[in-house]
Amino acid sequence: MDGSSKFGFSKSDMLKVAKGAALAAAGAILAYLSTQVIPDMESSGNAMLLTVAGIGSVLINMAIKFVKDNTKKIEAPPVVDDAPAE
C-alpha cells in the first residue's frame, strides 16, 4: 500500500516519519556543533579539526540526498489525434 487511510499510518508512512526524524536530529546535532564546538576548534588553530567538521557537514547532506526520493515522475505526453475530420 502506498498511502494510508484517514486517521491511520501505513508502514510506508511510519518509515518516512522515522527517516525525517533521523535527518532532523542530524541537522540539530550539526547546528549544535557549529555553534559550540567549531568556535573552540578555530581558537585551537588546528585546521584538521575544521576539515573534519566540513566533511561531516557534507556527509550529512549526502545522507539526506540518499534517503529522499529523488526520482522524477515522468508522465506520458498527451495523445494528439492528427487525423483529418470527416
pLDDT for 65 equals 79
pLDDT for 51 equals 77
Per-residue pLDDT tens for 19-78? 888 878 887 887 787 777 767 666 766 677 767 777 877 887 788 778 776 666 777 777
Position with higher pLDDT, 80 vs 14: 14
Whether the pLDDT of residue 1 is over 50: the answer is: no
Q: Distance between CA 67 and CA 19 in Å, rounded?
A: 7
Q: Are 53 and 41 in contact (CB under 8 A)?
A: yes
